[in-house]
Structure 1
Amino acid sequence: MRSMVGTVPWLLLSAALVLFMTPGLAFFYGGLVKAKSVVSMMMLSFGSMGLVGVLWMLYGFNQAFVDGSSADWIPEILGNAFSDFALGGAAADAFAGDGDAAVVLASAAFGSTFAIITVALVSGAIADRARFFPWLVFVGLFSTLVYFPVASWVFSFVVDGDGVTTFTGWIGQLGTHLGYDVGTIDFAGGTAVHINAGAAALALALVLGKRAGGFTKEDAVPHNVPLVLIGAAILWFGWFGFNGGAATTDGGAALIYVNTIVCPAAAALGFIVVEHFKDGKATAVGAASGIVAGLVAITPSCANLNPFWSIVLGLVAGAVCAFAIDLKYKLGFDDSLDVVGLHLVAGFIGTIYVGFFAIDTGLFTGGSFEQVIVQVIPAFAVAIYSFVVAFVIAKIIDATIGFRVKEEDEVAGIDSVQHGGGAYAFD
């Protein structure tokens, strides 16, 4: 977030771009699944848009951006949502011409889109077998107990009278707590979004178990590759708002945009080169997956890397993720659409990589090992917290109302059972 002339239109434009990413994710995920479950898959994303969008405005924004030291370690669970609905007051003030109130509302709009897509990302791990309304129960609890608090750890801040921004969450203050001269770099959500979603996805994949009818690489055939490519293109387009929305200077925004181009471009190359030598051919889905891996990897460091090191990051993330997506077959967890292999793995790579190559403060670019330490601790802390809480929530839902569809419905196709019809009509 920024406090400067032009903040409101910049944030609103960025919010529109990031909101568009969730339908893009729905296309990306929808193309990867079987034709008989594409509607169900896309509805998991659109359900997240509906519920998280409302919860964020009711109390999520106040929970994630609480004022002062209460954000330092444990945020207020419901903020001041119902006793003093801050957004309601901001709306009235903005209507009366209060610039600060307008920034609050624009920040709330921008932040809501991050909350929405973080939760929607998790759904890729449970494709073809999750019931819709239990998923919405998970969405509400996960948002409240995991995403909103973690967002406060990373993004919560205060601005003093001189316009100086101070991050107040424990991750934002980690360097200060440890007595270091550097702080954690997570500009756009490597921990709060991607590691968070990837760890939760692993938890859900373990709770729901493997899909019926086969769990091999040969079974994982996308039903609509063009839909996957369209989704990846929309994600890349929206990611300029995702990474650039919090830019405070024109120069910073320009660097972010360059890095958001070159890192996923390099990652696509790294992914398909590995595919070529590993499997004998470079695939369109591999190229799209490489793009996503690069976008994930550059998210935390987009404002803090020289473009050359962004290219290197992309090559590394694309190549590593090309191997990582196959680990589920060896380890036996059915992460249907590779949320773990792309978001958790690339999120870790991007978050830790900046500790070595951040401009001026990275270990190999003029800094010390301190930057590495303040990158590693939050990465593992968020992963552990997200995994444990998501696992417990999913277990409770599964034990009470049931999370997974019946096996016969899964085999027949869950679109008609869950949503009353399929994606395609051929008569």
Structure 2
Amino acid sequence: MMRTRPLKVALLGCGVVGSEVARIMTTHADDLAARIGAPVELAGVAVRRPDKVREGIDPALVTTDATALVKRGDLDIVVEVIGGIEPARTLITTAFEHGASVVSANKALLAQDGAALHAAAEEHGKDLYYEAAVAGAIPLIRPLRESLAGDKVNRVLGIVNGTTNFILDKMDSTGAGYQEALDEATALGYAEADPTADVEGFDAAAKAAILAGIAFHTRVRLDDVHREGMTEVTAADFASAREMGCTIKLLAICERAEDGASVTARVHPAMIPLSHPLASVRGAYNAVFVESDASGQLMFYGPGAGGAPTASAVLGDLVAVARNRINGATGPGESAYAALPVSPMGEVVTRYHISLDVADKPGVLAQVATVFAEHGVSIDTVRQQGKDGEASLVVVTHRASDAALVGTVEALRKLDTVRGVASIMRVEGE
């Protein structure tokens, strides 16, 4: 039986994503009603610029008073796609207080205050869903939170920012420098006028915090995530990667310690073997590789941004929340029972690729090898090229802690024969 009273939905924000949400709600209204068991009605749209023409949206629904909209008291669901911390945080908690469940795409807010938002949702008996906050259209949050709820996830390794993947892929495939690849990404609309959030890893770090929290049933905040950007990656780094049978990606890596007693979350550029599934992810696409005890290795792949893909994830949440609403139930909330400590970056263990500019004379390699040995970092391979009194020395290590590597690099910089540390790159996915 179809319920005749429509579920009322308010939309906070009507930009690229919000306008697509409104369009799909209108054009797919009959299908959505059939899937939910009741029609859904767009009851209001909060915007900053009310005079802008919004095709397909009744101007009578548009308001600049988002607070008044979420306080109406007759809303069933509030969809928040305005982004940022405030006023989004206050609007979401106000929506809970006035009887509405919330669907959000706000990765920054969830990474910073997810625990408080979940607590507010639970206090008022409402849902908080946010599939669209990570990896656009790719179903990822729900599989981690529900499909793998009976499994033990050990590692989440992924490309979660399309802008950075486009830039690095362009550098790899064409030999372009960083700035040249960034300029092309900007011209094509993949990069914002100010790309800092993407290229410095802030966007990916927020997503890593969300993924780690869900995967490990532990509260992980943005401040817990180690972050490095990709602006220093060079064509020379890609040349070295190719010689190793690798490419370079900006990765979000969330993993349990081998003893299971702690977790880490980090974002940084890394070399990965061409044989790894993530190495073949091209352009602005996203992909996330999940490793767990029972299911083994899983990979989720697809468009990670854009109006329609992100709106698809929002609408998927809207359908789930609407069904819960009709049934008088709520879906899964926060699961943080494990409460595992988040270890500092210094305890992370991985392999490293270090490129040094050194003097081209006898004994240099022995000096460098001694420094590595003194800091407990084992060398796997060494490659040296020299010309006119100068040389490039590339060292690839066995697995070592980040703290040991930092100490090694500090000591190398003090050697008279080392003229500079050209690059340091972690090697993952092996």
Per the normalisation by structure 1, the TM-score is 0.25
Larger strand proportion of the pair: 2
Structure ID, larger Rg: 2
| More helix per residue | 1
Q: TM-score, normalising length from structure 2? A: 0.25
